[in-house]
């Protein structure tokens, strides 16, 4: 690891379905009523970066609201994307509504079952191309969003000034996110303790009933995603999440390619209290990526935060401003 931060701020599950619980909240607990999908400062400042933020499984652009607000107030151009099948395009099955029909919830189809990693990459590449017209692009991903970062950087490395993995998946030596979760380093993930909705494989979705009133479910989710938050804050977080994620994302070949992805400078924000992507798994991904491109190693920053990220959006702001400064210097 090339650098470590001394930042002190902040405070019965199948492996097939585990990734639907890896919701990249990006501080979503604090996001309630806190922002919009984009924040613009002086849009004509050539040379100043645009931050493009990519959410994780079961989340959406709203999860980045506190970070958008923080960066906007600091004068940065920032946009958070909704990946295909998320945000305004999300599917909330009728059986997911109140009163819930749990039997039907296990079988009700969802259009996101046909969405692929290539679809995610194509969408984000379009955003990156548009943002690049204003200057350098810093592409940031959290949790499952890291697979999309790899796919985008494999396609358009010349358009990306820096990649930031916020406790995000970064396969290089392992083929997919599922392969990484099957390692000994991933075996201790608290995601495996979250009771799933057991959908048939042909639906192509990983489904989580975030509206469950089961106290066992709630305790498992809090442990996995946001153990440092109050119960009230965790319930607010769950209200922002979407039940379905495409199962194809976790199984797709999402390796960063040395001659494409490997050309882009990168930072890993290492969340030391993350119980969904255990610290040992984060460190494995960093080691394997650095071994893939030894002349372009991760810049590593350690942040005391659970899976949803730092409670204080200023911590996000400080870390991303460091990235922007390093990009200008590079």
Q: Which among 118, 131, 163 has a CA at the least distance from the CA of 268?
A: 163
Average pLDDT over residues 118-143: 98
**Percent of the chain surpassing pLDDT 70:** 85
Residue identified by tokens 């949803």 is 308
**Separation in Å, CA 70 to CA 36, 46, 137, 312:** 11, 21, 18, 10
CB 63 within 8 A of CB 24: yes
Residue 43's pLDDT band (boundaries 50, 70, 90)?
very low
Would you say residue 102 has pLDDT above 80?
yes
Q: Average of pLDDT values for 182-199?
A: 96
pLDDT at position 185: 98
Band of pLDDT at residue 255, cut at 50, 70 and 90: very high
Is residue 137 very low, low, confident or very high in pLDDT (cuts 50, 70, 90)?
Answer: very high
Min mean pLDDT across 36-40, 130-134, 201-205 is at 36-40
- Give which of 140, 133, 121, 95 is closest to 244, Cα–Cα: 95
* d(C-alpha 91, C-alpha 111), whole Å: 7
Q: Distance between CA atoms of 19 and 204, rounded to whole angstroms?
A: 13
61-70: average pLDDT:
97
DSSP code, position 107: T
Quick check: 135 pLDDT over 90?
yes
Residue 160 neighbours by CB under 8 Å, 6+ apart? 128, 137, 138, 139, 152, 153, 264
User: Are 43 and 74 spatial neighbours (Cβ–Cβ below 8 Å)?
Assistant: no
pLDDT band (50, 70, 90) for residue 327: confident
Rounded mean pLDDT, 280-289:
98
CA distance 149 to 165: 8
Say which residue, 277 or 36, is predicted with more confidence: 277
Do the beta carbons of residue 318 and residue 223 sit within 8 Å?
Answer: no
- Rounded to the nearest angstrom, the gap between the alpha carbon of residue 12 and the centroid of all alpha carbons in its chain is 24
* Mean pLDDT of the region 253-275: 98
State mean pLDDT over 254-265: 98
What percent of the chain lies above the pLDDT cut of 90?
83
Sign of CA pseudo-dihedral 308, 312, 318, 320: positive
Please tell me whether the peptide bond between 99 and the residue prior to it is cis, using omega within 30 degrees of 0: yes
Q: How far apart are CA 273 and CA 152, in angstroms?
A: 28
Cα distance between residue 128 and residue 275, in whole Å: 31
CA 175 to CA 117: how far, in whole Å? Answer: 13
Query: What does the buried/exposed string (b/e) look like for 244-263 if buried means 16 or more CB atoms within 10 Å of the residue's CB?
Result: bbbbbbbbbebbbbeeebbe
Asked if 237 and 28 touch (Cβ cutoff 8 Å), the reply is: yes
User: Is the predicted pLDDT of residue 177 greater than 90, yes or no?
Assistant: yes
Query: Is it the case that residue 5 has pLDDT exceeding 90?
Result: no
Band the pLDDT of 287: cuts 50, 70, 90.
very high
Please compute the mean of the pLDDT values over residues 63-83 and round it to a whole number. 97
232 close to 29: Cβ distance less than 8 angstroms: no
Tokens of 3: 């650098």
pLDDT of residue 328: 73
Measured between alpha carbons, how far is 38 from 46 in angstroms, rounded to an integer? Answer: 18
How many other CB atoms sit within 10 Å of the CB of residue 21? 29
| Average pLDDT value for residue range 70-74 | 97
Q: Using one digit for the tens of pLDDT, what is the confidence trace for 206-253?
A: 999 999 999 999 999 999 999 999 999 999 999 999 999 999 999 999
Q: Is the pLDDT of residue 309 over 70?
A: yes
**Arithmetic mean of pLDDT over the chain:** 89
């Amino acid at each position: 690891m090339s650098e470590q931060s001394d930042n002190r701020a902040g405070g019965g599950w199948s492996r097939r379905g585990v990734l639907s619980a890896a919701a990249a909240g990006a501080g979503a607990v604090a996001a309630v009523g806190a922002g919009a999908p984009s924040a613009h400062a002086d849009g004509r400042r050539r040379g100043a970066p645009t931050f493009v933020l990519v959410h994780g499984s079961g989340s959406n652009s709203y999860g980045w609201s506190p970070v958008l607000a923080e960066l906007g107030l600091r004068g940065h151009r920032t946009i958070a994307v909704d990946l295909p099948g998320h945000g305004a395009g999300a599917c909330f099955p009728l059986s997911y509504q109140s009163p819930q029909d749990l039997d039907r919830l296990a079988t009700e189809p969802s259009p996101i079952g046909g969405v692929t990693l290539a679809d995610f990459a194509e969408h984000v590449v379009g955003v990156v191309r548009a943002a690049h017209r204003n200057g350098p692009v810093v592409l940031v991903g959290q949790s499952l969003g890291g697979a999309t970062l790899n796919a985008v950087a494999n396609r358009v490395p010349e358009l990306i000034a820096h990649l930031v993995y916020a406790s995000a998946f970064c396969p290089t030596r392992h083929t997919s996110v599922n392969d990484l979760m099957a390692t000994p380093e991933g075996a201790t993930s608290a995601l495996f303790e979250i009771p799933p909705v057991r959908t048939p494989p042909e639906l192509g979705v990983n489904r989580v009933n975030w509206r469950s009133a089961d106290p066992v479910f709630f305790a498992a989710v809090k442990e996995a995603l946001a153990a440092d938050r109050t119960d009230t804050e965790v319930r607010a977080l769950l209200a922002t999440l979407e039940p379905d994620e495409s199962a194809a994302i976790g199984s797709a070949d999402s390796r960063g390619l040395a001659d494409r992805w490997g050309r882009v400078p990168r930072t890993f924000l290492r969340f030391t209290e993350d119980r969904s992507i255990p610290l040992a798994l984060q460190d494995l991904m960093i080691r394997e990526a650095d071994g893939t491109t030894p002349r372009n190693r991760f810049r590593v920053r350690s942040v005391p935060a659970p899976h949803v990220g730092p409670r204080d959006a200023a911590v996000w702001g400080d870390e991303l401003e460091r990235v922007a400064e390093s990009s200008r210097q590079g």
